[in-house]
């Protein structure tokens, strides 16, 4: 029997990068302390009143929701937490995601909004497959989720939108963007994206310093059901191949992910942001939401989808 580093109970979880075994109770404390520290370090909840948590039903966002729920009631009692879930209409997958979200929110007594893409927007993510966007469907799905989550959070009057992006997600992005040298993308990889535009809700990533594995452990420790399968549309995606490669590098250089993240946030990001002007936002002529050009990327995507349906029906 291996003992917990912090008490004498039987250890259950291995924190690889810290070479530390912990029991269930100590792991929960460790995890919640880490989120709390991240929130405080970057002032994520400073002045916040209404926080929307974007939940997919996966381990990361569900762990985030459960931990935020505890933190808010213990440390930030003035904050109101609301979960938002978008049902993406991916057969055999989205039903299960929504079920987990609803069960967990009901168990924990968290107000939640389910936004059904098919009935509200008139299409489902798999419909994108038949368009030129289909070849990079994860990217298009990302555009949909980013746009709708912001709009929904704005519509319900949230002043923060919390997402479940973890260290592995962020390191995968950093690896990609440093490799491509895309400075404009690099400066957007950060724990908080502050906004003073009322239609653009400030985004926070409380899990940014926690690994995928730590989030899975927390979900398990809290009895949150895990999805049996990952998204069927993401199979073999470049994102997954990159994550595998990063796992390989981490084995060669233990601590690689934490190092790359810290170097970015503490040392390189502060320099790069000085050289990139704030993008000047206008309003999308179609939906009125903030946009870099006349039409926002979401409305462009939807109009391409509409054009394709019109083509197919003639």
Binding site residues, a second copy, CB under 8 A: 178-183, 241, 245, 248-249, 252-253, 256, 259-260, 262-264, 266-268, 271-272, 274-276
Nearer to a second copy, 275 or 314 (CB): 275
Nearer to a second copy, 117 or 265 (CB): 265
Whole-number Cα distances in Å, 268 to 33, 94, 273:
27, 38, 9
Nearer to a second copy, 47 or 236 (CB): 236
**Minimum distance from CB of 168 to a second copy (Å)?**
16
Per DSSP, the residues of 59-93 read: HHHHHHHHHHHHHHHHH-TTPEEEEEEEE---TTT
Nearer to a second copy, 8 or 275 (CB): 275
Per DSSP, the residues of 244-270 read: HHHHHHHHHSTTHHHHHHHIIIIIIHH
What are the φ/ψ torsions at residue 182 (nearest 5 degrees)? -90, 90
Helices 137-155 and 297-313, axial angle in degrees (round to 10): 120
How many whole angstroms separate alpha carbon 152 and alpha carbon 266?
A: 32
Catalogue the E-assigned strands of 24-178: 50-54, 80-87, 111-116, 160-162
Nearer to a second copy, 159 or 168 (CB): 168
**Minimum distance from CB of 143 to a second copy (Å)?**
24
**Minimum distance from CB of 178 to a second copy (Å)?**
6
Q: Among candidates 265, 259, 282, which has minimal Cα distance to 186?
A: 265
Q: Six-digit token pair at 113?
A: 């909004």
Nearer to a second copy, 179 or 228 (CB): 179
**Minimum distance from CB of 275 to a second copy (Å)?**
4
How many whole angstroms separate alpha carbon 187 and alpha carbon 84?
A: 27
**Minimum distance from CB of 127 to a second copy (Å)?**
31
Nearer to a second copy, 119 or 275 (CB): 275
175 touches 242 (CB < 8 A): yes
Nearer to a second copy, 19 or 266 (CB): 266
261 touches 174 (CB < 8 A): yes
| CB atoms inside a 10 Å sphere around CB 153 | 26
The residues, any chain, with a CB within 8 Å of residue 306's CB and separated by 6 or more, are none
**Minimum distance from CB of 274 to a second copy (Å)?**
6
What single-letter DSSP state applies at residue 206?
T
**Minimum distance from CB of 256 to a second copy (Å)?**
7
């Amino acid at each position: 029997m291996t003992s917990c580093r912090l008490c004498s109970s039987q250890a259950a979880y291995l924190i690889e990068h810290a070479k530390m075994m912990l029991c269930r109770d100590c792991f929960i404390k460790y995890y919640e302390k880490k989120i709390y520290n991240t929130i405080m370090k970057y002032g994520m909840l400073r002045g916040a009143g209404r926080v929307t948590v974007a939940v997919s039903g996966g381990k990361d966002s569900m762990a985030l929701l459960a931990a935020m729920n505890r933190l808010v009631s213990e440390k930030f009692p003035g904050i109101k937490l609301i979960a938002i879930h978008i049902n993406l209409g991916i057969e055999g997958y989205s039903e299960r995601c929504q079920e987990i979200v609803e069960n967990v929110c009901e168990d924990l007594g968290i107000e939640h909004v389910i936004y059904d893409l098919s009935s509200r927007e008139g299409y489902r993510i798999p419909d994108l497959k038949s368009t030129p966007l289909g070849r990079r469907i994860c990217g298009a799905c990302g555009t949909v989720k980013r746009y709708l989550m912001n709009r929904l959070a704005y519509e319900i009057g949230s002043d923060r939108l919390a997402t479940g992006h973890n260290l592995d997600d962020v390191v995968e992005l950093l690896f990609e963007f440093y490799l491509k040298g895309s400075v404009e993308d690099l400066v957007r990889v950060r724990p908080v994206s502050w906004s003073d535009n009322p239609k653009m809700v400030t985004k926070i990533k409380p899990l940014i310093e926690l690994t995928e594995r730590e989030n899975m452990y927390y979900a398990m420790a809290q009895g949150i059901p895990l999805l049996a399968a990952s998204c069927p549309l993401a199979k073999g995606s470049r994102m997954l191949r990159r994550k595998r490669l990063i796992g390989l590098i981490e084995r060669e250089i233990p601590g690689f992910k934490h190092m790359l993240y810290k170097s970015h946030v503490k040392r390189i990001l502060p320099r790069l942001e000085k050289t990139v002007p704030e993008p000047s936002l206008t309003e999308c002529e179609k939906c009125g939401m903030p946009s870099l050009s006349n039409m926002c990327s979401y409305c462009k995507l939807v109009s391409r989808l509409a054009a394709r349906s019109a083509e197919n029906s003639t």
